[in-house]
């Protein structure tokens, strides 16, 4: 799927620290996909997740499936 992310508005989690750690950024406003990129490489590639896959990931994070840092 080819998605134009030129004008995407990217945001970091409110849980991201200010120390430049390992963060992802998400772009809202896309109906068919959720674009995700590495905050340390904003001009690099973005991964595109279906809404179902992204929601599954968010649920897994919130329920502690991946552990804690």
pLDDT per residue over 12-53, tens digit each? Answer: 877 666 666 678 899 999 989 999 999 889 899 999 999 999
Structural domain count, the chain: 1
Note the pLDDT of residue 2.
83
Note the pLDDT of residue 69.
62
Which residues form the domain of 22? 10-62
Report yes or no on 4 lying in a domain: no
Note the pLDDT of residue 1.
73
Report yes or no on 69 lying in a domain: no
Note the pLDDT of residue 7.
92
Note the pLDDT of residue 13.
74
Report yes or no on 67 lying in a domain: no
- Between residues 68 and 45, which one has the greater pLDDT? 45
* Alpha carbons 64 and 31: distance in angstroms, whole number: 27
């Amino acid at each position: 799927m080819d998605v134009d992310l030129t004008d995407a508005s990217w945001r970091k989690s409110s849980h991201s620290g200010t120390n430049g750690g390992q963060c992802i950024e998400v772009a809202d406003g896309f109906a068919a996909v959720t674009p995700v990129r590495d905050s340390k490489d904003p001009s690099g590639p973005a991964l595109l997740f279906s809404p179902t896959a992204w929601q599954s990931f968010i649920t897994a994070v919130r329920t502690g499936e991946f552990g804690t840092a």
